[in-house]
Amino acid sequence: MVYAHAFDGFIWAVEVATLTLGGVVLLLAIFVVALRLRFDAVARRRTKLIEQWTAIFRGERDDLPALRGEDRYTVLLLYDRIRGDLDSSRSLIAREHADEIARRAKIDGFAAGLLTSRDDADLIAALSVLGKLGDLRAVGPAARYGNAGGTELSRTAAEASLRLSPDSVGRVIALVRDREDWVSSRVESMLRLASQPVLDDAMSEAIASSPARGRIRLLDFLRCCSAPAARSIARGLVSDETDPEVVAAAIRALSGVAEPSDDARIRPFLLSPDPFVRLAALRIMRRVASPQDAPVLGSLAMDNDSWVRRRAAEALVALDERMRSSGTEETVSEADPFARDAIVEARATMLPVPIS
């Protein structure tokens, strides 16, 4: 009988739960439908707005319609996107026109208002736009959020700092070194905004004062510096650094800007005990190797590390191409058919494919 009473209690609980959940389901269904209807209306309005304002920002229309309160965020994001695309173009006039329109539409004031928001997305939008407009109201928040926010907020804040105050380059580079969560390609785009001489000096200073891990991280972005500065920094590390991982990173950084005279500097690293150093050295030798390097490249084509073999084969083929010769196979032992195959593959990979 005890269980019968318990069962009755259980049934009562299930009744209550079913009815309550039924009500929740009904309300949720109504909410989802209402949300979808609202989103549809917003999407229709947004599509029109984007069409209209894209033409205005691009100078295809002269009128400047009044902007309703709820439309300002959409136009702010549109300006941010268009202005971001213009960053990579060289058209100063187009950039200035877009900025002028944004100011006349009071986008700057709206963005400045968002700086007090506690929402990361609002802060990102505000900092990004104010940075592009060169609005100094963002200087303080940009410095504050540079190292304190989440991944996207801190990176946007750093980018705004770079745009607003050229003397912040050193601080931003220190952040780049420490914030490994920033997406590298985005950091590269950001650093390209900095003035080159300032960036060259700041990068040189930061690399000199950073620990090994930081140096490796920063060496990835040496490509944003001018070629002479990048060459000088990388050569310095190749000569003086003792940590093999830093040396490998420095050789990789040097590979993009290496000159034929670098072959003597790099040659000893072909015999390094660390495969990643040999691999890095081969990247440069592919561009600068001379006929005297052929024997060592031949021996590396039979290396224990498969990637070293592959890169050595490519360096041999590149050497053949440069010297207009075809003797690479001779440097590779008869006993290692796979090394010869690697050369055949490298030749097929590197030389233009005939389109049949």
Partner 1 sequence: MSRTLHYPWDLIVFVIEVALFSYFIFVNAFYLFTAFVALFRLPDFVKIHRVDPLRSTGSALDKPISIVIPAFNEEVHIERTVNSLLAIEYAASEIVVVNDGSTDGTLAVLTEAFALEPFPAVYRVAVPTKEIHAIYRSATHPNLMVVDKVNGGKGDALNAGVNVARFPLIFSGDADSFYHPSTLIWMSEPFEKNPLTIAVGGAIAVGNDAIPETPDGKIEPQLPKGWLPRFQALEYLRAFLGSRMGWAPINGLGTISGACGLWRRDIIVEAGGYRTDTIWEDLEMTLRAHNMMRKQKRPYNIAFAPYPVCWTSVPSTFGELYRQRKSWHRHLAECMVIHRNLLFGGGVIGWLTMPYLMFAEFLAPAAVLFGLLFAVVALYFHFINIYANLLLLGLVVVLSILISLLSILLDQLSYRTYRSSLWPLLSASVLDFFFRQFIFVANLSGLFAWLFRRPFHGRKGSPPGINVAAYRPEPYRRALPAASIKTAGR
* Binding characters for partner 1, 212-231, by CB under 8 A (x = yes): --------x--x--------
- Of 7 and 136, nearer to partner 1 (C-beta) is 7
342 binds partner 1 (CB under 8 A): yes
Binding piece for partner 1, criterion CB under 8 A, among 1-9, 202-210, 268-276, 291-299: 1-9
For partner 1, how many residues bind (rule: CB under 8 A)?
A: 64
> In the set 3, 66, 324, 334, which binds partner 1 (CB under 8 A)?
3
- Look up residue 175 and give its amino acid: L
87 binds partner 1 (CB under 8 A): no
321 binds partner 1 (CB under 8 A): no
The total number of residues shown for the chain amounts to 356
11 binds partner 1 (CB under 8 A): yes
The CB-of-167 to partner 1 minimum distance in angstroms stands at 25
303 phi and psi, to 5 degrees?
-65, 160
CA 43 to chain centre: 30
119 phi and psi, to 5 degrees?
-90, 130
219 contact partners, CB below 8 Å, separation of at least 6: 207, 234, 237, 246, 249, 250, 252, 253
What Rg value do the Cα atoms of the chain yield, rounded? 30
The CB-of-342 to partner 1 minimum distance in angstroms stands at 5
Kindly tell me the burial class for residue 356, based on how many C-beta atoms sit within 10 Å of its own C-beta (0-12, 13-18, 19 or more).
Answer: exposed
28 binds partner 1 (CB under 8 A): yes
Cα dihedral across residues 243, 245, 247, 250: positive or negative: negative
333 binds partner 1 (CB under 8 A): no
344 binds partner 1 (CB under 8 A): yes
Alpha helices in 257-336 (DSSP H): 263-266, 275-288, 294-300, 306-323
Closest listed residue to residue 204, CA positions, set 191, 219, 190: 219
- Of 215 and 267, nearer to partner 1 (C-beta) is 215
- Of 188 and 290, nearer to partner 1 (C-beta) is 188
Site for partner 1 in 133-192 (CB under 8 A): 150-152, 156, 180-189
CA 296 to chain centre: 36
33 binds partner 1 (CB under 8 A): yes
Binding piece for partner 1, criterion CB under 8 A, among 49-57, 237-245, 303-311, 322-330: 303-311
State the Cα–Cα distance between residues 327 and 319, nearest whole angstrom: 10
308 contact partners, CB below 8 Å, separation of at least 6: 275, 278, 279, 282, 300
The CB-of-105 to partner 1 minimum distance in angstroms stands at 18
The CB-of-71 to partner 1 minimum distance in angstroms stands at 16
- Of 54 and 290, nearer to partner 1 (C-beta) is 54
The CB-of-34 to partner 1 minimum distance in angstroms stands at 10
Place of tokens 């490249």: 297
- Of 74 and 290, nearer to partner 1 (C-beta) is 74
348 binds partner 1 (CB under 8 A): yes
State both tokens at 178.
């420490």
Kindly state the DSSP code that residue 64 receives in the 8-state scheme: -
CB of 108 closer than 8 Å to CB of 99: no
DSSP tally for the chain: helices H, then strands E: 18, 0
Site for partner 1 in 48-67 (CB under 8 A): none
Helices 72-88, 2-57: axis angle to 10 degrees equals 60
- Contacts to partner 1 by CB under 8 A: 1, 3-4, 6-7, 10-11, 14-15, 17-18, 21-22, 24-25, 28-29, 31-33, 35-36, 39, 77, 80-81, 119-122, 124-125, 128, 150-152, 156, 180-189, 220, 223, 306, 309-310, 337-338, 341-342, 344-345, 348-349, 353-356
